[in-house]
Structure 1
Amino acid sequence: MRVQLADLILGGYLTENDRLPTVRQLAADLGLAIGTVARAYRELETANLVRTRRGAGTRVTSDHANAPDSQLAQAAHTYVTTSRRLGASDDQLLAAVRIALTGTPPG
């Protein structure tokens, strides 16, 4: 669950000041223990993705907006979206990334 929330934040689906559900509400919605959700929120806070304030709840921060991980997530999202429009399969997407990483031209 923490990874999914981080992906939503880094991918730009949750933006600055978006409020996350309360720990109790998210635990109930997902059928998880309250401690599990609380730990995930603490880890997100440690990663500067969210900030929790009494009375204001847990909100997405802006601290991550210019982080390399955020930029990478945005670039990856653009790559996948464009590739899907071209009709590429998962295998083709991964093959193209491997080629880009190794510098080996296709063929």
Structure 2
Amino acid sequence: MPLIFRGVRDNHCVTLEIDIDDGSGVAPYEQVRSQISEQARAGDLPVGYRLPTVRGLAESLGLAANTVAKAYRALESDGVIETRGRNGTFVASAGSAAEREAASAAQAYAERVRRLGLAESAALDAARDALRAAYGG
């Protein structure tokens, strides 16, 4: 059963939904990280939405505080959330940060395959194969 946090942001109801599946084989911190990230990127968690505290979310999910802290650190590293000290943790403008990071990675990839002497079509095929593998397709 998913854990649901309801809140209000800019007069709109906001729902953070996290469902930890113990039998999935995916580490709990990664489940927390990916679900918050997906909801933020989809706009379900708007920029500026205040997330539950590490301790509060951990207690609600029945997880160790270190597990949730690890997820929050990864989300902050990815630019999805930002911590404002004692004021809390908030959803950041993740879309633009993710797009900037993807553009940077694409540029580095383009430079690397050029140095390797790969044709554009071979480089694109390799990138498509990697994306299919990463997305399970």
Amino acid at match of 2:34: V
Measured in 2, the distance between the counterparts of 1:56 and 1:5 equals 19
Q: Which runs of 4+ in 1 moved over 3 A?
A: none
Separation (CA, whole Å) in 1 of partners of 2:43 and 2:92: 12
Q: Is residue 22 of structure 2 the alignment partner of residue 16 of structure 1? A: no
Instruction: Report the counterpart of residue 69 of structure 2 in structure 1.
Output: 38
User: What is the CA deviation profile of residues 35-67 of structure 1, one whole-angstrom value per residue up to 9, with x for unaligned ones?
Assistant: 0000000000000000012121000111x2334
Superposition TM-score, scaled by structure 2 size: 0.47
Partner of 1:65: 95
What is the CA–CA distance in structure 2 between the aligned matches of 1:65 and 1:40, rounded to whole Å? 18
AA in 1 matched with 2:47: E
Q: Number of aligned pairs?
A: 69
Identity in percent = 46
Tell me which of the two structures has the higher relative contact order, counting C-alpha pairs closer than 8 angstroms and 6 or more residues apart: 1
Unpaired stretches in structure 1, ≥5 consecutive residues: 69-100, 102-107
Say which SS state the counterpart of residue 58 (structure 2) adopts. Answer: helix
Q: TM-score, normalised by structure 1?
A: 0.60
Secondary structure of the corresponding residue to residue 41 of structure 1: helix
- What are the residue-to-residue correspondences of 1:1-107 with 2, within 5 Å? 1-62=32-93, 64-66=94-96, 67-68=98-99
Which sections of structure 2, spanning at least 5 residues, go unmatched?
1-31, 100-131, 133-137
